């Protein structure tokens, strides 16, 4: 077996949550009196921790206004925005099949907060699918590789035996920074051209091809 640990990004890789993230951020920016945010600009920062995302989206924003924007974003994302949010088709069954490989470990590395990821785990009953997870508020935000290094240490897996899967350059760049294999998915937010700059080992254009590749590379 080539890999003994697969680390997944969440938003835009496993879950089709991008439309709700964009809508919630746009509503929050208006309520924080920052103004309108273009959808592509919001998509660009998905994967970053929320403070880092707001700083990039709203250069020069005052601390009080940033805090208000982040508070309103959390409100809309959790309570007020009705935009549907589900796993991409095939993800649940494919992860279930991958979990049957007893020697293989699965993990999540996400820009969400711990509270946000745990909420999603509860709502989707998916928390026990993974052996470990890291969020942006308990370590450093992507593209810094600290969350990957911590997962490797926790699960006692050498870097050459792990692979990172994600839909943004932030995912792939944090893996490249520590010499970890990486796989891009083109159905998320960043373009194929942008992902290829990070030299992914494989580019998956749909869920089926992603998990076909993982099954081949994680074959016992």
CA distance 154 to 170: 22
Residue 65 CB partners (closer than 8 Å, separation 6+): 32, 33, 34, 58
DSSP 48: B
Q: Do domains 5-16+88-217 and 18-80 have the same CATH topology?
A: no
Residue corresponding to tokens 């103004």: 35
pLDDT for residue 218: 87
When pLDDT is averaged across residues 19-27 and rounded to a whole number, the result is 96
% of the chain exceeding 90 in pLDDT: 93
pLDDT at residue 105 tops 90: yes
For the chain, the structural domain boundaries read: 5-16+88-217, 18-80
pLDDT at residue 220 tops 70: no
pLDDT at residue 8 tops 60: yes
pLDDT for residue 2: 87
pLDDT for residue 98: 93
- CATH 2.60.40 for domain 18-80, yes or no, is no
CA distance 180 to 150: 13
% of the chain exceeding 70 in pLDDT: 99
When pLDDT is averaged across residues 108-128 and rounded to a whole number, the result is 94
Give the pLDDT confidence of 55-81 residue by residue, as tens digits.
Answer: 999 999 999 999 999 999 999 999 988
pLDDT for residue 102: 82
pTM, two decimals, is 0.94
- The Cα-based distances of 62 to 31, 48, 54, 202, 205 in angstroms read 15, 19, 11, 41, 40
Answer whether 150's CB lies under 8 Å from 7's CB: no
Q: Which fold has domain 5-16+88-217?
A: Rossmann fold (3.40.50)
Give the pLDDT confidence of 158-184 residue by residue, as tens digits.
Answer: 999 999 999 999 999 999 999 999 999
């Amino acid at each position: 077996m080539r890999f003994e640990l697969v680390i997944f990004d969440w938003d835009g890789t496993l879950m089709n949550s991008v439309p709700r993230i964009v809508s919630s951020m746009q509503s929050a920016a208006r309520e924080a009196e920052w103004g309108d945010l273009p959808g592509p600009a919001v998509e660009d920062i998905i994967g970053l921790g929320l403070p880092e995302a707001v700083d990039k989206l709203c250069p020069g924003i005052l601390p009080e206004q940033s805090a208000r924007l982040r508070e309103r974003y959390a409100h809309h994302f959790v309570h007020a925005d009705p935009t549907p949010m589900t796993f991409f088709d095939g993800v649940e069954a494919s992860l279930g099949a991958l979990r049957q490989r007893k020697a293989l470990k699965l993990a999540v590395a996400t820009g969400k907060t711990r509270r946000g990821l745990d909420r999603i785990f509860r709502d989707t009953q998916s928390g026990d699918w993974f052996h470990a997870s890291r969020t942006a508020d308990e370590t450093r935000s992507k593209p810094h590789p600290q969350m990957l290094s911590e997962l490797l240490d926790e699960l006692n897996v050498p870097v050459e035996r792990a692979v990172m899967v994600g839909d943004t350059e932030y995912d792939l760049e944090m893996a490249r920074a520590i010499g970890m294999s990486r796989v891009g998915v083109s159905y998320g937010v960043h373009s194929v051209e942008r992902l290829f700059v990070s030299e992914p080992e494989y580019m998956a254009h749909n869920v089926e091809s992603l998990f076909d590749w993982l099954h081949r590379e994680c074959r016992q």
